[in-house]
Amino acid sequence: MTDYLEINRANWDERAVPHAASPGYRVQDFVDDPSFLSDVVRFDLPRLGDVAGLRGVHLQCHIGTDTVSLSRLGATMTGLDFSGAALEQARSIADRAGADIEFVESELYSARSALTGEFDLVFTGIGALGWLPDIKRWAQTVASLLAPGGRLFLREGHPVLWTLDYYRTDGLLSLTEPYFETVEPQIFDDPGTYVESDHEFKHTLTHEWNHGLGEIVTAVLEAGLVLTGLEEHQSVPWEALPGRMRKLDSKEWQLAEKPERLPHTYTLQARKPV
């Protein structure tokens, strides 16, 4: 297999600065307002509950806006990502926002050796799992990081969403990409990015994988965790199907026509037995 880490890291390294500069990440709001939270974490609040005093790690944290948000809710946070360029932006944002957060550079599967101690909370946000070729190794890594009684909180794009033909314009939902995990990656060449930016990207190639919902749940259970919640949502934090979605008051996006046809995202929670 081609070195997917090298290819994907080049892609994410180049996007770090444009993402931090984009209005989509609202970095200046974090600096100006000490109570400001990312839209993703704000959506999660009813399910997150009280995280004050917890030692948490945000896996695949990118530029760290969700990490800063969790810190503002009272958790002692660490952020982990494989992109050094993204972590440079994360450290700058946290410093400007007055958040005391440690950021560690490591690919996901090496997280246990890169981090010290155990965590009460492992948080993984939108758009993370698709960069990983093996969901079972992911779940085993999560379990190795959790302290007894600690919990996993995952909100992610639904695997059905990831199967859809992104470019279709006739209103039909067409499943064209794999739903189940495959050995070989899906290879995409996309000149843009998911937030507003006028940057002309040079590293446009990515290697990605989908993971079925059953595969994810089974991986969590086989890693020794106890499932405590699984909820599917009819909204997603970005315009996942351009031209076919409407923006809600919650600032999330939803399929404009018959949104009940599509599971947009899901939240999965699990605990490590004491």
pLDDT, tens only, 214-271: 999 999 999 999 999 999 999 999 999 999 999 999 899 999 999 999 999 999 999 9
CB within 8 A of 71, min separation 6: which ones?
77, 94, 99, 100, 101
**What per-residue confidence (pLDDT) applies to 190?**
74
**What per-residue confidence (pLDDT) applies to 228?**
98
Distance CA 129, CA 110 (A): 15
pLDDT band at 166 (very low <50, low <70, confident <90, very high): confident
**What per-residue confidence (pLDDT) applies to 168?**
85
**Cβ–Cβ < 8 Å for 40, 63:** no
Paired sense of beta strands 55-59 and 119-124, if any: parallel
DSSP 74: T
Distance CA 204, CA 128 (A): 18
**Cβ–Cβ < 8 Å for 96, 123:** no
Poorest-pLDDT segment among 70-84, 95-109, 149-163, 201-215? 201-215
pLDDT band at 144 (very low <50, low <70, confident <90, very high): very high
Distance CA 138, CA 129 (A): 8
Instruction: Count CB atoms within 10 A of the CB of residue 133.
Output: 19
Distance CA 84, CA 105 (A): 6
pLDDT band at 163 (very low <50, low <70, confident <90, very high): very high
Write down the pTM of the prediction: 0.95
Alpha helices in the chain (DSSP H): 4-21, 27-32, 39-48, 65-72, 84-97, 111-114, 135-145, 159-163, 213-222
**Phi/psi-derived region of residue 67, left when phi > 0, alpha when psi is between -120 and 50, beta in every other case:** alpha
DSSP string, 185-248: PEEEE-SS-SS------S--EEEE----HHHHHHHHHHTT-EEEEEEEES-BSS-SSTTSEEE-
**What per-residue confidence (pLDDT) applies to 1?**
47
